[in-house]
Amino acid sequence: MSTKETQLQEELAQARAELASTVDELSGHLDPRAQASRFAASTKQAATDTAGLFTGDGMPRQEHRARNVKVLVGAGVAVLALGLRAVLRKR
């Protein structure tokens, strides 16, 4: 076998290994159980951060965590407003 063929085979083996690694990583991201686990962890973190906001810890420094707190507080306010509206309409 020539040096060029050997080199091409080595490059092909490397490319296959990288492709296999990428496919494994993607399937991990697309796995429904993994997605549910990440969502649950994110939700728990948002609830903890929101509780911290109301107990004096302030807003989290990370932008995505602060955004989640704002969304959670906004959703809570919306639910309360809709509940209040329903109660007032029945009177």
Residue 90 banded pLDDT, cuts 50, 70, 90 = confident
- Domain limits, the chain: 3-90
Residue among 71, 24, 27 at smallest CA distance from 46: 71
Q: Is 72 exposed, middle or buried (0-12, 13-18, 19+ CB in 10 A)?
A: middle
According to the model, what pLDDT value does residue 91 have?
Answer: 77
Query: C-alpha 77: how far from its chain's center?
Result: 23
pLDDT of residue 83: 95
- pLDDT tens for each residue of 11-64: 999 999 999 999 988 888 888 998 999 999 999 999 999 999 889 899 999 999
User: Do residues 68 and 49 make contact, with C-beta atoms less than 8 angstroms apart?
Assistant: yes
- pLDDT of residue 9 exceeding 80, the answer is yes
Structure tokens at 19: 């492709």
Model pLDDT, residue 29:
83
pTM of whole model > 0.75?
no
Residue 66 is predicted with a pLDDT of: 93
